[in-house]
Structure 1
Amino acid sequence: MAKQNGRHGDMMFNNVYKDKKVLVTGHTGFKGTWLTTWLLELGAHVCGVSKDIPTKPAMFEELGLEHKIQHCILDIRELEEVSAIINDYEPDFIFHLAAQPIVSESYKNPIETISTNVMGTANILEILRNYKHTCHAIIITSDKCYENVEWIWGYKETDHLGGKDIYSGSKGAAEVIFHSYQESFFSDSNCNIKLATGRAGNVIGGGDWAADRIVADCMRAWSVGDKVEIRCPEATRPWQHVLEPLSGYLSLGQGLVENANIHGQQFNFGPRAEQNHTVKELLYDLSNFWNFEKTSDAYDVTDNIPFHEAGLLKLNCDKALFNLKWEANLNYHQCIKFVSEWYYTFYKEKEDMLDYTTKQIREYQQEAALKKLKWCC
């Protein structure tokens, strides 16, 4: 199992991850791959648990991470097998990202979505209930856990949970399970297990090839000269680069180490308010990096809308700012640049993508240092 020396990650997140054992579930997915890469940059030892390589191509394979970490292929729903890995590895931190993450897939396979997102989370909490070592666990759900009433204000952590689709319901249920486990088994302030949940959404970035995600759909089409079909061009989203919520999750892990009051809490992580843009605006800005002569060559609008899609959903992140001193780093145009340049480099430049991904992480850290954000000081 390889470990980087953390030279470029020194003092990030107050060095709480350096030389620590970190277990990441869902490590072969889009967010999991970025998180694994960042943890290696921070000098952590990483063990990953995922049921498969979810896409082709897959960022995890393109970066060659199988040879950099302890790599385990296992379904998070297999309680005894996952328990054996965790108790053998003895992690100091757990980031639980493993999930069925696609809304459209939840309509096709609702039971699998519920069992993965709810029972997968319950399994991690059940394993931690009997875990004998000190561990800080960050349970990742989604901004879709909220009952979305399409209001213009950001949702707070105290707002109602729910959802009009199976995916949203499964994420709301995962939050309820977390709360019940925390109150039942981890409420003692002297407990060896410290837990919190992180909620984020509308995450974009290089290396996402999942089905029915707008950026992934664009890059698949544009890389071969095709148009992309979009369903809801006027739908508004608070787009954020994947490193934004990951900096929040890593800050949350740091908070669990340094502040007893963080234990058992829920936190939203979202972009700046000015990052609300329509799908149409997003595609226009992304397409500028692909040298289309006119925007109409980049996409077509279709009226084929097979499932409900929210018109607006954004988060209030005041709690993260107050308790963790966390705030978003990139503006919208920086976000678009990071995303576009990663894909353009992959498809057109043929660089070593682990080196390039690490380069973007370092650029993100440097930008945060210029802003004097707490986690990088």
Structure 2
Amino acid sequence: MEEMVNLWRGRRVFLTGHTGFKGGWLALWLAKLGAQVRGYSLDPATEPNLFTVARIAGILDDIRGDILDRPRLEISLQDFAPEVIFHLAAQPLVRRSYADPIGTYATNVLGTGHVLEAVRKVHSVRAVVCVTTDKCYENQEWIWPYRETDPLGGHDPYSSSKACAEIVSAAYRSSFFSVDRPEEHRVALATARTGNVIGGGDWSEDRLIPDLVRGFQASQPVLIRRPNAVRPWQHVLEPVYGYILLAERLLGGEEQFASAFNFGPNAEDAWPVERIADHMAAAWGEGATWVRDADPGVHEAGMLRLDASKAQANLGWQPRLTIESALNWTVDWYRACRQGDEMRDFTWKQIKLYESQRKMRLR
């Protein structure tokens, strides 16, 4: 931990998507490490939201802007002169992508291009981590976990847009940020593919954990679309820690890290939806329950697993929380929020507890 603080203290970091769920957790951790962070994002997409509840505006330079607004994005990058960029701004929801496919492609594909094009003009940048998703793979509905070398694809607009963002990033790396010619640009670019992320502070629509929490708080049975679907569930701090580690290696000039990395749970933590819902209901108590939705709606993958052995072998990253612990931490966060706790401090407390878990997984 001390080494992380020494590396990040005073370092200038540009973070797109800081008003979102994962972006908010990353902003809080970076600030805790002493980084100078500028966030660039649209307003929070929900009410309530982590950005407001955890008072994130008070720990960074808060810029509201759209990554599709290229001139504003470039000015915000140039006058801040960051060394590190974490690109998390996105349209993140599968079902919304069916309602607005063009908007999804614009944000996730063209927006990524705008960020990377702006990087070319800001000579202070040394490391870029573009965050995509586990759904960027061509899903074969098989039991084997996907590796970084597996084909990209996507049945729905969201998944395919993230596959496109991966391709755009790879093209920029090959064309402008080549690992073979670092002296020409001094930029190392990596992508991070993350599993199904859970944790306190997510109030998104059409996501399992927020839907469960809303239903439990309202004392209503929660409709579950696909109880048998299997996903690589993980607490938000797992991939966020991976993003930070990856950026550290990129800053160290280690060229082999300028590539794609999966961050997912161990095999035993890829649970079906119904098991997640059962554990959440039991942990919540108060008669919390769920029922199967007779109309599951649009197509969604039934089986999805990630192979994170590359991150474990090359980065020294590994999951620190079991899925049971991740779910319990999530329930604890929402309970604390409901009873009026100071949520910036509570969130930092969970970050500190996570930092303390090194060799033994926390149950």
| Fold similarity call, TM over 0.5 | yes
Shift of 1:368: 2.5
Distance in 1, matches of 2:243 and 2:2, equals 18
Task: Establish whether residue 312 from structure 1 lines up as the match of residue 303 from structure 2.
Answer: yes
Among 229, 235, 239, the alignment partner of 1:245 is: 239
Instruction: Tell me what 1:254 maps to.
Output: 248
- Counterpart secondary structure, 2:204: coil
Distance in 1, matches of 2:282 and 2:297, equals 29
Distance in 1, matches of 2:258 and 2:351, equals 29
Amino acid at match of 2:10: D
- Counterpart secondary structure, 1:303: coil
Distance in 2, matches of 1:262 and 1:28, equals 31
Distance in 2, matches of 1:22 and 1:216, equals 29
Task: Answer yes or no: is the 8 Å Cα contact 2:41–2:66 preserved in 1.
Answer: yes
Task: Answer yes or no: is the 8 Å Cα contact 1:102–1:167 preserved in 2.
Answer: yes
Shift of 1:370: 5.5
What pairs with 1:42-61 in structure 2 (closer than 5 Å)? 42-61=33-52
Among 331, 334, 350, the alignment partner of 1:360 is: 350
Instruction: Tell me what 1:205 maps to.
Output: 199
- Counterpart secondary structure, 2:182: coil
Distance in 1, matches of 2:64 and 2:24, equals 14
- Counterpart secondary structure, 2:189: strand
Distance in 2, matches of 1:290 and 1:317, equals 30
Amino acid at match of 2:198: I
Distance in 2, matches of 1:192 and 1:259, equals 9
Task: Establish whether residue 150 from structure 1 lines up as the match of residue 144 from structure 2.
Answer: no
Q: Which sections of structure 1, spanning at least 5 residues, go unmatched?
A: 1-8, 372-377
Amino acid at match of 1:215: I
Task: Answer yes or no: is the 8 Å Cα contact 2:266–2:319 preserved in 1.
Answer: yes
Task: Answer yes or no: is the 8 Å Cα contact 2:104–2:161 preserved in 1.
Answer: yes
Distance in 1, matches of 2:139 and 2:281, equals 30
Instruction: Tell me what 2:277 maps to.
Output: 283
Distance in 2, matches of 1:30 and 1:107, equals 21
Task: Answer yes or no: is the 8 Å Cα contact 1:196–1:262 preserved in 2.
Answer: no
Distance in 2, matches of 1:86 and 1:20, equals 14
Among 10, 29, 39, the alignment partner of 2:2 is: 10
Among 89, 96, 103, the alignment partner of 1:105 is: 96
Task: Establish whether residue 189 from structure 1 lines up as the match of residue 182 from structure 2.
Answer: yes
More moved, 256-265 vs 283-292: 256-265
Instruction: Tell me what 2:58 maps to.
Output: 67
Among 175, 188, 210, the alignment partner of 2:166 is: 175
Distance in 1, matches of 2:286 and 2:42, equals 38
Distance in 2, matches of 1:264 and 1:122, equals 17
Instruction: Tell me what 1:231 maps to.
Output: 225
- Counterpart secondary structure, 1:95: strand
Distance in 1, matches of 2:360 and 2:196, equals 25
- Counterpart secondary structure, 1:11: helix
Detail structure 1 runs of 4+ shifted over 6 Å in the superposition.
Answer: none
Instruction: Tell me what 1:27 maps to.
Output: 18
Distance in 2, matches of 1:304 and 1:310, equals 16
Shift of 1:369: 6.2
Distance in 2, matches of 1:327 and 1:369, equals 9
Amino acid at match of 2:274: K
More moved, 76-85 vs 316-325: 316-325
Instruction: Tell me what 1:39 maps to.
Output: 30
Shift of 1:46: 0.9
- Counterpart secondary structure, 1:199: strand
Shift of 1:360: 0.4
- Counterpart secondary structure, 2:271: strand
Shift of 1:93: 0.8
Task: Answer yes or no: is the 8 Å Cα contact 2:246–2:257 preserved in 1.
Answer: no
Distance in 2, matches of 1:263 and 1:366, equals 25
Amino acid at match of 1:368: R
Shift of 1:298: 1.0
Among 109, 119, 124, the alignment partner of 2:110 is: 119
Q: Which sections of structure 2, spanning at least 5 residues, go unmatched?
A: none
Distance in 2, matches of 1:248 and 1:186, equals 22
Among 81, 90, 95, the alignment partner of 1:90 is: 81
Distance in 2, matches of 1:269 and 1:257, equals 19
Superposed CA deviations along residues 27-73 of structure 1, whole A, max 9, x for unmatched, are: 00000000000111111111101111111001100111112210011
Task: Give RMSD over aligned pairs.
Answer: 1.5
Identity across the alignment (%): 41
